[in-house]
Structure 1
Amino acid sequence: MQDLYPDPASLRDDYMKAGERMVRQTLLIDAIAKQEVIEVSDAEFDAEIEEMSKKYNMTVEQTKKALEEQGMLENIKFGLLEKKVLNYIVENSQVKEVEKAEEKEDDASADSGGAN
């Protein structure tokens, strides 16, 4: 670890930046969900827990208990909300293809260079 971060301040700065990015992302997801009335239903949450139970070869009750003990139930719910918000963004995005400015400048230079 010392090789990667010889200066403790740089390690702290990296963690601060990562933390700030996570907070911004969480706030943005939450704001979009509220504005667009995107919610995770009980059925969606239960289906996710059931899927996890199958994956870990546990009963639904065991999975819920383990997640609750670890304080992870809200994280699971937020993960589902995040997926729904991202799907909403993708489905409602209007993509417009635009040439890069560099390509336009290169094309213009090539055109004017041939005219001289």
Structure 2
Amino acid sequence: MVHGSLGMLDALMVALSGFVIVFLMLALLWGLILVISRAIAGIERHPQPVHHPAAAPSAPLSNGAPAAPAAVPVALEGVDELQAACIMAIVSHQTGIPLEQLVFRSIKAL
């Protein structure tokens, strides 16, 4: 227990120790965030390969180029051709599957 008021020097020492503790905790949190973000970035750099059993490679032609898939008409319901092309490109990009290996049967606006 304190038996009286603090002197000016004691008050400055208490305030200084409070500042030091706060900045040490901030530095500790900064280091923790840095370590976690680098660990997550390392995990994202090495994603697990995704196996798509439905996407079988097409048979090569005599010149070594893959055969083009047969054109399947896509049923568009409430979507024009430009919007359908954008949707197909986005699906191909997000899944990582080449557009030539995807088969769209219908695209419907909800």
- So what's the TM-score if we normalise by structure 1? 0.31
- Whichever structure has more strand as a proportion of its residues is 2
- Whichever structure has more helix as a proportion of its residues is 1
- So what's the TM-score if we normalise by structure 2? 0.32
